[in-house]
Amino acid sequence: MKISFLDLKAGYLELQPEIDAAIKRVLDSGWYILGEEVDAFEQEYANYCEAKQCVGVANGLDALHLALLALGVGAGDEVIVPSNTYIATWLAVSQCGATPIPVEPDARTYNIDPARIEEAITSRTKVILPVHLYGQPADMDPILLIARKYGLKVLEDGAQSHGARYKGRRIGAHGDVVAWSFYPGKNLGAYGDGGAITTDDAEIAERIRVLRNYGSRVKYVNDVRGYNSRLDPIQAAALRVKLKVLDTWNARRAEIASRYQTGLANVGLTLPFVPEWAEPAWHLYVVQHPQRDALQKKLGEAGVGTLIHYPIPPHLQQAYAAAGFIQGHYPIAEQIANQCLSLPIGPHVQAEAVRVVISKLQQFV
């Protein structure tokens, strides 16, 4: 039995009539940049996220970058970031001319450890940037308390957490602003790149609307030096269809996670830890094993597709070699990178496939 890590085509086939009709609606409209389709998605997604504002942009990295600019981050500033994250979190900071300051994660949840944040704050710190990694909410209350204590802003990276809840409330506006990615593999994924920000702050949202559109509110009148980063209306139309089934698809992911948690409980893997206040979106189901590479090879030979998120932490990437980081600087992030393995958990993974994955892991580990 061949088990793919993620089957994007299956999601399209499930929704094909609705997706095709939505795309045709945009094509028939003759309006292909921003417009009513994007406006409608922004309102619907804001409502879903329990936020007052949503602004669609071209991709998740732009969402982070423009949000940081809207928060006033620039050259000479510092932004606190997780040491364990996808590099886009760091790149957005660097694009502003600011410096990413890594903080190690809680080894149980993989998310930034609030107890380590305060010691990383300096007079140049402007923003704390937690990531809701793998779809599990970061512990926001202590992060927000620290931010208020030092007069800092909080930008959440929600790229993997569509539909997740922290203490009963959806991720979407706990901090000052949340950046989202709609990359095709996300829980809410487009058919190409796409992104957005959500916030309760109308001024931040307006700044981002201007920045995404060449710095312009009125055509040919440019208030600031902006960017071309607009959510495509065809993608917005498809996302509107997918948003209606997001909770259903997330429930499928949660069921698979539950089966993994039970079936792999005594196998010898480090399984995800979920705090009582968290309701993950289960974007990824990540386990750890000291012989990860050998285990992944065996699973691959048995027809089970897995991925590694992420094999090289940002501080050891060549892109940040000039920062002077060396092996051992952030040992928790490095251990996760060396031992983590993501198992199939997409909404179209069948029950029999889950049974096979559990069986193979019980056999190999």
Query: What digits encode the pLDDT tens for the residues 168-197?
Result: 999 999 999 999 999 999 999 999 999 999
Q: Give the pLDDT score at 192.
A: 98
Residue written as tokens 């939505």?
22
Tokens at 241, concatenated: 């269809």
| pLDDT beneath 70, residues of the chain | none
Q: Give the pLDDT score at 1.
A: 83
Residue 130 contacts residue 104 (beta carbons within 8 Å): no
Residue 179 contacts residue 157 (beta carbons within 8 Å): yes
Give pTM, 2 decimals: 0.98
